[in-house]
Amino acid sequence: MAEQTGQERTEQATPRRLQQAREKGQIPNSRELNTLLMLILAGAALWLIGPYAAKEMSLLIKNSLHLTREQIFDPVAMPSLFKEAIFDALAILAPFFVIMVVASVAGPISLGGGLNISTEAISLNGKNWIL
């Protein structure tokens, strides 16, 4: 009745209803909390890791652009040097990436709902498709 008339509900949901909603993936979610937490942790991570990462990245670029004559004319050397530079850059940025993943998971958990993985929430249905 409350859904049809626009009135607020007068009674609390039963534990069974709450469990059903949780199984469907309907848990409290706040985009603002997630955004705030990620921005704060990104700023803190850049403040702490930034000087180290900037120094290491500048050394990586400097060393990657310093090539010997043999490396320039060897067609096999360039892809391997590029691959090595990519992996080194990812290793330098890995702490920042880990902090951001933790922040993106910690936001929804901090609302008290805990970690909820629901297959119903991620399943495809034709009702929401725009054609």
For residue range 80-117, what is the model confidence (pLDDT) as tens digits? 999 999 999 999 999 999 999 988 888 777 766 566 66
For residue range 52-76, what is the model confidence (pLDDT) as tens digits? 999 999 999 999 989 889 888 888 8
Query: What residues does each domain of the chain span?
Result: 28-128
- With a threshold of 0.85, does the pTM exceed it? no
> How many angstroms from the chain centroid is the CA of residue 56?
24
Element (H, E) at 100: helix 77-108
Q: Is the dihedral of CA 57, 60, 65, 66 positive or negative?
A: positive
For residue range 3-27, what is the model confidence (pLDDT) as tens digits? 556 677 777 767 776 666 666 666 6
Can you give the C-alpha Rg of the chain in angstroms? 25
